[in-house]
Amino acid sequence: MTTDFSYPHIQMYIAGQWCAGGDGQSAQVLNPATEEVIGQVPLATIADLDRAVEAAVAGFEVWRATPVAQRTAILRDAADRLSARSAQVARVMTTEQGKPLAEARGEVLRVADALRWDADDARRAYGRIIPSAPGTLLSVRREPIGPVAAFTPWNFPAGSPMRKIAAALSAGCSIVIKGSEETPGTVCELVRCFAEAGVPAGVLNLVFGEPAKVSAHLISSPATRLVAFTGSVPVGKLLASAAGAAMKPSIMELGGHAPVIVCEDADPVVAARRAAAAKFANAGQVCTSPSRFLVHESVYEEFTAAFVEAAGALVVGDGREDGVTMGPLANERRLVAMEELVADAAARGAKIRCGGERLDRPGYFFPPTVLTDVPADARIMSEEPFGPIAPIVPFTELDEALRVANSLPYGLAAYGFTRSSATAERLVRGFEAGILSINHCGGSVHEAPSGGVKSSGYGREGGPEGLDAYLVTKRVSHILED
């Protein structure tokens, strides 16, 4: 582990200037691998939020009038700066969030590519001319919606903020984004790249603060025109309700409890290895993480053995150290939640095949945990774990597995393993989810949309659909006169 590193000084970014909170209030930032205080994050006052919104209003007028080719060049410059600093930004991310350095750097490089993709795709936000009556020009135009209020969580300190920032700025909008107070350093590094690339003052504003106060004020402001949120279902429902009361469109990328169905014709060892790799990435703190494993009874034992072996091969530790493949949980809250879910399942008869208890060391470490013989009424079968716990249960008929998979109010991601194209099609048609992977557990990609159904939210991020919410479709009917 290298020592030539210091955690950055955290500030907000408003109207093109780095600043502290107006009343000097701040909160501690902790390293989850050591529980040490590594910094302070400023907390915005109402006056700070008003300044940020005012800046976004002024910045929007400048940015929307900037030719799209010039906007694209600036955003591509920001992406190049971020790529060049990927190792540095990854170390900031690992220090404040815990994931291994390789995962952190991969995240940084992916979001830089996502920014390039959005910037280029904005040049294809075409309108159209519609055939009409003689002397009439009927057209459809696509225009930026206006200042955006965005809110992001701690599990992907670069990925979540960049999805909002990249889409908003590519579409020609300005944005006020509230980063996570637990992982503020990474988003500060992202914003620094945009500022140095020449994004005009006011176009991109970064604040931190007490979540309920910040969200209520930004959403209710008449100046903000779109609400974009990634986070839990309960908080998403509150923000969506507030946005609805203000008659504002919103994008809600909320939680899930992703089922995995392993069919009888699947290769159980391959399925187990691929599923385990996805399950324990980011210590399971991923909204699309596979989290309920429904395995056909004929391959159940072989799948379980291979899954337990893969879990046991992971090296848990400080993400800054060489060889570590799974870091700590992000905070004490997640650690307590894991203990409660395991205790509940065990009390109801589940078997703990590996893991199950927090590690006896400083930091928020919980090992990869596999549960079998899990009854349907165990909390882990209906509550999103958002951590490294994998319940595995057998099934007999595929229709029953699909019924169980779809029985919860969530519908973000789902996964299936089969060597039959006909069975794959049954899974595709049968799963109620916005994101579906067959024979792998891949993550999001910037060229295709991601989003959920049911209580997992609405709207899409990524792909051509990712810009839709940030654009207004305007119909223009023009009577031509001499």
Is 253 one of the catalytic residues? yes
Asked if residue 439 lies in contact with residue 290, where contact means CB atoms within 8 angstroms, the answer is: no
Q: Which two tokens stand for residue 266?
A: 């699947």
Q: How far apart are CA 158 and CA 86, in angstroms?
A: 11
Q: How far apart are CA 201 and CA 58, in angstroms?
A: 9
| Catalytic-role residue among 173, 188, 263, 287 | 287
DSSP 264-298: TTS-HHHHHHHHHHHHTGGGG--TT-EEEEEEETT
DSSP 145-214: ---EEEE--SSSTTHHHHHHHHHHHHHT--EEEE--SSSHHHHHHHHHHHHHHTPPTTTEEEE---HHHH
Contacts of 212 (CB under 8 A, 6+ apart): none
Q: How far apart are CA 188 and CA 157, in angstroms?
A: 10
Is 441 one of the catalytic residues? no
**Of the candidates 319, 249, 180, 229, the residue with the CA atom closest to the CA atom of residue 468:** 249
Radius of gyration of the chain (CA): 23
| Catalytic-role residue among 253, 264, 384, 432 | 253
**Of the candidates 259, 23, 79, 72, the residue with the CA atom closest to the CA atom of residue 172:** 72
Q: How far apart are CA 290 and CA 351, in angstroms?
A: 19
Query: Which residues are catalytically annotated?
Result: 253, 287
